[in-house]
Structure 1
C-alpha cells in the first residue's frame, strides 16, 4: 500500500494562475480530483482531464462512453460499482459514494473514490449524474496502517490474555515449558520460535529450544557473565529487543555464527523475575523485522511477568511434589518379599489433586508356618499429614502382625493406636491372613471396600467380608470387636485387594465401579504383574482424582513347604511325666527320621529350651518337632510358651548356675531364633540331618 500511496501522491501538473478566487475546476485538479457529468438520457459521460488522469487514460483514449472505462476496472470492481450506482438510481437517492480499485496501464492497482449527485426531474426520474473521482491511495494506505496497528494491538493484548489463560492450568515446570513451546503456543505468541532458560546456581540452563535445528549444544548452559542476550537479561533484569538480523550480528558476534542459519528477522528476550530475583529467561524469535514499538514492548514485558509468576508457582509445586513423592516412597515398602507358594503384585498411583500424595498404602508381611498377611488401607486426606499417619499405621500393623496376633486383634490394636494419635484422621483397612499350605484366608475389614476373588476357571466375584468401623473411629465408639470372615483360596485362585480410588468416579455409584473392576479382573491375564498393569491402565483411564493402591495375591500350584512329619507334646510345670514324654517323643522322632548322628545334640538342645520355658515362665510349654519328607532334611525343634518376654543370649559368670542355655543351643544347632506370637513366643532351632 505504501507504493500505491507514493504513486497517488505525485505532484499535479496543473499550473496555478494569478486570478483569485480560483475556478472550481482548478481547485479540484490541484487536489487530485476530476469531475464528470453523465447524461443518462443519451448515455454519454463527460470526464475532464483530471478525471481521466485518475483512470490513467489519455484524452484520445476516451470516447465519452462509460463502457470505455471498463478497461481500467477489474471485473469484480466494475460489478460492485455498477450495483452501487443502480441501487442509488432505483431507490430515489440524491447521491452516492463508493471506493473502488483502478488497474493502471503498468498493471498496478490504485484505490479510487467517487462521490456524485443525482439530478432528477419533477417526476423523480434520474436525468443526470454529476460528480468527482479522486485518487484515494494515500487515504487507503493510512487507513490500512491504522487497521494494522489496531489489529496488532488486539493481537498483542490477546497474546498476553491467551497465554496467561493457558498458563493458569500449568502446574509443573514442564507444563509451563509446554505451554510456551508447542505449536499452538507459537501461533498464540505470534512467534516463530521460543526458547526458555532457567537460572540455576549462577548459571542459565536452556531447557527448551523449539525450532528444529536451533539447538546449540555448547550453549546448553550459559554463565551469567557471558556476552549473550540471555546472560545480559539476567544480569540487568531488563528485556532485550533485537529489531533485525543485522542488529543481532552486531550486538552478539560470538553467538551469531550459531544462529545465522536460522530463519528469523527479530527477537525479544524477556527476564522472568520472581520476588525481585531472576528465575529464568524467555526468548521469542519472529519471522520478520520488528521495530518493537512502545506499546508492544510493554505488552511483552507484561507477558514476561505472567510467565514468571507461573514459573515460580510451578517451581514451588515441583519442590513440594518431590518432597511428597520422597515421603510417599519412604512410607511404602521398598520391596515386597518373595513368598513361597504365592505370586504377589502391588501398585500405587498418586492422586491428581492436592500435592500428588495420599494416605493409600499396601503391605505384605511374612508370617511363620507358611502364612502371609496382606494389608491394604487408606488414610483420609491427600497431603503430607495423611502420608505421615499412613506410615505410622503401616508400621504398627506390621508390628502387631509380626507378634503373632490374630487378625481381629491386629485390627483392634491398630485402631486403638490411631485413636490415641494427635490427629483427626481416620483410616479404612482390609487385613487378610492367608495360610498358603491349606488355602485358608482370614479377613478383617474396617470400613474398606470388599476385596475380589478370581477363581482358577476365570469367574470373579466380590467377597462379602463382615465389616467394622474405620480405624480411629472405632475407638471413639468403644467398638473394637472386629469380625473375622474365613474363605478358602484354592490353588490358582487370586485375591485382589484395592482402595476406592480404583473404583470410585465422580457422579457414578461405587457399586458400578466394583462391578466393572470385577469384569476387568475376570478378563485380565493370569500373571499377577500383568494383571496389576492392566488395572493401573484402567485407573489412568478414569476421570477420578483420588490416589489408588492395590495388592494382588495368587496362590501358586506348589505347596509352600514339602509335607512334613510333626509331633507335639504339652509340658506343664511340675509335670515330670510330661517332660519325660517330650524327651521320649524327641528320641523316637530322631530314630524314626534317620537323624541318629545328631541325636545327642538334638536332645540336649531340647532339654535346655524346655527347661528355660518352665523355669522362666508361669505356664506350660508346647514342644513341637518336625522333619520335611524330602531332600531338604532339616529337623526343626520348637518350644512355645505364653510369655512375651524374649530370651537373650548372655555370657555366664564362671560361678553362675544359669545363663549358659542359649549359648549351648547356639553351639549345638545350625540355626536358631525367636518368633513373637500373639499368645507369647516360640524359641526354635534347626539341625541339618543328611
Structure 2
C-alpha cells in the first residue's frame, strides 16, 4: 500500500492558490519551455504561447510554417538545424535534440534548445514531430562557468579541446567566425573583444571585428609597422601586450581607436598553416595586465588549431567557387527568345558541400516555328559530372540543330556518351514543340515525366513512354526511343525538372510529385514568378541535390499561324513536274493576294528548285504556305535528300553559275537553310499585304 496521500493535505490547495499540483502547461511556461507539433506532410508547425516566447515572437507575427521562424534564428543556425532534423528522419531515429541561437527583437542572441520525438507510420515513414523548445541561456552560462573552472584546473587544455572539436565542423570562414564568437560569448577566451584577419595579396583584411568598427583598420598592409596584426604576420611570432602604456607606445595609431574600450592588455597571434601565415587573431582584454607561460602556451596552441581550420575553410571556398563557376559555364548563358513561347529556366546548386552535379537544361530554337526543350541529369556530384554534362549538352544541341527526329537525337546522344571515357550515365527528356500547331513530340531516357499546367491553373502529370538512360541504352544495344505525341494549347505550360525538385527526406517520389503538382497549381500565373516559387520551396528544404528547372508556355498572340499549304514533288529530268510546280507558285500568289511580289516569289522559287535538281541526286519537294502573325508572310521551301549545305559565293562576270543565292538574298526578306537529318531544306519568306477579315484560301492549280 502506498504511503502517498490520495488528496492534498488540508489547506494545501488554498495556500497554493488553488492550482496544486501545477498543470503541465504552467510548469513548462514557468521554466521557459514551450511545446511544438510539426505536421510534416502539410509543412505546418504549431507553437504554443510559451514556445513563441522562446523565439520572442508575437502570435500575429508567426504564420505557422518553419520558414516563419527564419527571422528569429541566428545566421547559419537554420541550415545546421535542417541538417540535424534531416539526418534523424533519414536514419530512422525516434528523436533528436540540438542547441541553437535565437536572435531576439533587440538584435541580441540567446541560446535555446529543442528536443523532438518523431512519429512514424507502419511503413516507417515519418509524418509528425512533437517536442519542446526552451530557453537555455542559464544552462549555457552554468556550463561556461564549469568550463572555466575545469580549464583553470587542467591548465587550459579544455578550451583548446572544446574549440578544436567545434572547429572540426567548420566548412567556411563564416563557420570559423561563428565558432570563435560562440566561444568568446561563452567566456572561453576571457577576453572583452575578438578580431580576426586574413592574409590577401600582401594585406590583412578583417573578417571579424570587435564591438565597433575602427576606421582605417579593415584593410592594412603587412609591412605597416603601426598595427600588431601586421607585425605578427610579418614575424610569424605572437605579440603579447601587457599594459595600456605598452599598447599606446607600440601602436599609437591603433591605440587611439581602442583606448575608449578600457583595454588593458592584448594578445595578437599569427595563424600559421603549413609554414605560411594565413591570417592573425587578436584578443583584447579589460582588467588583465599579464600573461603567464601557461596562458601563452594555451593561446599559441589555440591559434594553431584556428589556423588549420581557416586554411581548410579557404580551400573549401576556393574549390566551391571553382566548381560553381564550372557548372555555370556549362549551362546556357542566356535563354533565346522564341516567338510564340514564354520560357523560364532556373538552376540551384546543392546547399551542402562544394560538390556540383550534372543537372542541365537547354532551349534550342529550330526552324519552322519549332523549339527544342531539354532537361537532364548526369550521374554523380562532382566536377567530372559537370564536364560530362557540358559535352553532352553540346552534342545533343548539335544533333537537334541538324534536323534529326527526337528519337534519333536521343539515340545519337546515348551513343556519344557511351563512347566517352567515362562510366557515367545520364537521364534526359527531350521535347520538340511546334508552336504553330501546338504538337509536342517527347522522348524520355530514364528521366521523370514532365508536368502540364493548364490555362485554368490545374496541373497534371504527362505520361511519356521512355527508354534506358543515355549511355546505358547504347551499352545494351537498346537505342529505340519511343516518341510520345501530345498537344500544347495556348496558355498551357510544360514543366521539365530534375529529381532535386521533388525528392524530400522521409517521402517517396510519388508524394514529392504530388506536392510539386499542388504547388504549381496554387502558384502564380506568371512563369517567372512560378519558377522563383518552386526554387524557394527547394531552398526551405534540405537542399542536398542540384535542381534544374525549365518552364515553357505556349502563347498564341505572336505565334505564326499556318494558313493554306501546297506541296509538290519535282523529279529530276521531268520538265512537266517543273512546269507544274511553277504553275502552282503562280496560283498561290494570286489566291493569297501576293501579286505585288509575284515576280520576286516566282523567280526565287524557280532558282531554289533548279539549284536542288542540278546539285543533288534525286528529286526535290516544293512547299508553299502562308503564315499569319504580326505580319503575313509567304514561305517557300525546297527540300532535298543531300546534307551538303549551299554556300554563297561571288561569281565572275563571265561565269555561267554562282549567282543563285545572291539573287535569293537580294529578293527575299529572309532566307535560310534547315538541316533535316538525312537532308536539308532551303527556305525563304516574303512579306505580303494583309487581307483584312479574309481567311487565305487554297488556290486551284487547274
TM-score bucket (shorter structure) = 0.7 to 0.9
- 1:192 alignment partner in structure 2: 192
Who is 2:294 aligned against?
295
Structure 2 residue 162 is matched with structure 1 residue 162: yes
Q: Which residue of 1 aligns with 2:600?
A: 601
SS of residue in 1 equivalent to 2:326: helix
Q: Distance in 1 between matches of 2:601 and 2:556?
A: 34
Q: Tell me how far apart the structure 1 counterparts of residues 298 and 374 of structure 2 sit (CA, whole Å).
A: 57
Please report how far the alpha carbon of residue 345 of structure 1 lies from its aligned counterpart in structure 2 after TM superposition: 1.2
Q: Is residue 370 from structure 1 mapped to residue 347 from structure 2 by the alignment?
A: no
- CA contact under 8 A between 1:224 and 1:234: conserved in structure 2? no
Is the alpha carbon distance of 1:627 and 1:155 closer, same or farther for their aligned partners in structure 2, counting shifts above 3 Å? Answer: farther
Give 1:452 shift.
1.5
Deviates more, 1:480-489 or 1:652-661: 652-661
SS at match of 1:471: coil
- SS of the aligned residue for 2:350 comes to coil
Q: Normalising by structure 1, report the TM-score.
A: 0.75
Instruction: Give the conservation status (yes or no) of the 8 Å contact 1:466–1:483.
Output: yes
Determine the C-alpha separation between the residues in 2 that align with 1:684 and 1:557: 24
Structure 1: distance between partners of 2:241 and 2:290: 8
Q: 1:293 to 1:560 in 2, by over 3 A?
A: same
Residue of structure 1 in register with 2:617 after alignment: 618
TM-score by length of 2: 0.74
Q: Does 1:178 align with 2:199?
A: no
1:589 equivalent in structure 2: 588
Structure 1 residue 306: Cα displacement: 0.9
**For residue 50 of structure 2, what is the aligned residue in structure 1?**
none
Query: Structure 1 residues 547, 150: closer, same or farther in 2, change over 3 A?
Result: closer
Written as runs of structure 1 = structure 2, the 5 A alignment for 1:412-423 is: 412-423=411-422
Contact map agreement 1:180 1:186 (CA 8 A) in 2: no
What is the alpha-carbon distance in structure 2 between the residues aligned to residue 576 and residue 442 of structure 1?
Answer: 38
Query: What residue in structure 2 maps to residue 259 of structure 1?
Result: 258
Counterpart residue number, 1:216: 215
CA contact (8 A) 1:506 1:544 kept: no
Partner of residue 205, structure 1: 205
SS of structure 1 residue aligned to 2:283: strand
Q: 1:339 & 1:391 partners in 2: Cα distance?
A: 23
- Contact 2:151 2:158 (C-alpha < 8 Å) held by counterparts: no
Separation in structure 1 between the aligned mates of residue 154 and residue 489 of structure 2, nearest angstrom: 71
> Does residue 465 in structure 1 map to residue 464 in structure 2?
yes
Give the C-alpha shift of residue 629 in structure 1. 4.4
State the shift of 1:288 in Å. Answer: 2.3
CA contact (8 A) 2:184 2:190 kept: no
Output the CA distance in 2 between the equivalents of 1:622 and 1:188: 85
Alignment deviations for residues 148-196 of structure 1 (CA, whole Å, 9 cap, x no partner): 8865355843322222222222222233233334686564433322111
- Greater alpha carbon shift after TM alignment, 352-361 vs 475-484: 352-361
Q: What pairs up with 1:99-138 in 2 under 5 angstroms?
A: none
Q: Secondary structure at the match of 1:197?
A: strand
Find the aligned partners of 1:404 and 1:148 in 2 and give their Cα distance. 74
* TM-superposition CA deviations, 1:407-453 (whole Å, max 9, x none): 11111110001001111110000111122222222111111112112
CA contact (8 A) 2:195 2:283 kept: yes
Q: Figure out how many residues of one structure are paired with residues of the other and give that number.
A: 543
Q: Which runs of 5+ in 1 are unaligned?
A: 1-146
Of 573-582 and 182-191, the range deviating more from structure 2: 182-191
Distance 2:210 2:457 in 1: 50
Q: Secondary structure at the match of 1:674?
A: strand
Partners of 1:354 and 1:382 within 8 A in 2: no
- Contact map agreement 2:437 2:561 (CA 8 A) in 1: no
Change in 2 beyond 3 A, CA 1:360/1:210: farther
Structure 2: runs of 5+ lacking an equivalent: 1-146, 690-702
In 2, Cα distance between equivalents of 1:330 and 1:342: 25
Match of 1:152 in 2: 152
SS of structure 1 residue aligned to 2:478: coil
8 Å CA contact 1:153–1:296 kept in 2: the answer is: no
Tell me the alpha carbon deviations over residues 313-356 of structure 1, each in whole angstroms, 9 at most, x when there is no partner: 11111221121111111100111112222221111111234523
Contact kept in structure 2, 1:347 and 1:551, CA below 8 Å: yes
Q: What's the secondary structure of 2:280's corresponding residue?
A: strand
TM-aligned CA distance change 1:354 to 1:619, over 3 Å: farther
Matched position secondary structure for 1:517: helix
Q: CA deviation at 1:385?
A: 0.7
State the match for 2:103 in structure 1.
none
Displacement of 1:500 in angstroms is 0.8
Indicate the residue corresponding to 1:280 in structure 2. Answer: 279
Go from structure 1 to structure 2 and tell me whether the alpha carbon gap of 1:452 and 1:610 turns closer, same or farther (over 3 Å shift): same
Which runs of structure 2 are paired with 1:400-479 in the superposition (5 Å)? 400-479=399-478
Superposed displacement of residue 592, structure 1: 3.0
Q: Distance in 2 between matches of 1:151 and 1:316?
A: 32
2:343 is the alignment partner of 1:344: yes
User: In structure 2, the residue corresponding to 1:207 is in which secondary structure?
Assistant: strand
Q: Secondary structure at the match of 1:431?
A: strand
CA distance 1:249–1:654, shift in 2 (3 Å): same
Cα distance change, pair 183–343 in 1 and its aligned pair in 2 (3 A): farther
Counterpart secondary structure, 2:672: strand
In structure 2, relative to structure 1, the CA distance for the partners of 1:656 and 1:260 (3 Å cut) is same
**In 2: Cα distance, 1:532 partner to 1:517 partner:** 12
Shift in alpha-carbon separation, 1:542–1:304, aligned structure 2, 3 A: same
- Higher alpha-carbon deviation: 388-397 or 624-633: 624-633
Distance in 2 (alpha carbons) for counterparts of 1:489 and 1:184: 61
Q: Measure how far apart 1:555 and its partner are.
A: 2.2
Distance 2:455 2:669 in 1: 40
Q: 1:340 to 1:467 in 2, by over 3 A?
A: same
SS in 1 for 2:500: helix
Which structure is larger by alpha-carbon Rg, 1 or 2? 1
More displaced 10-residue stretch of structure 1: 164-173 or 399-408: 164-173
- Shifted more, 532-541 versus 171-180: the winner is 171-180
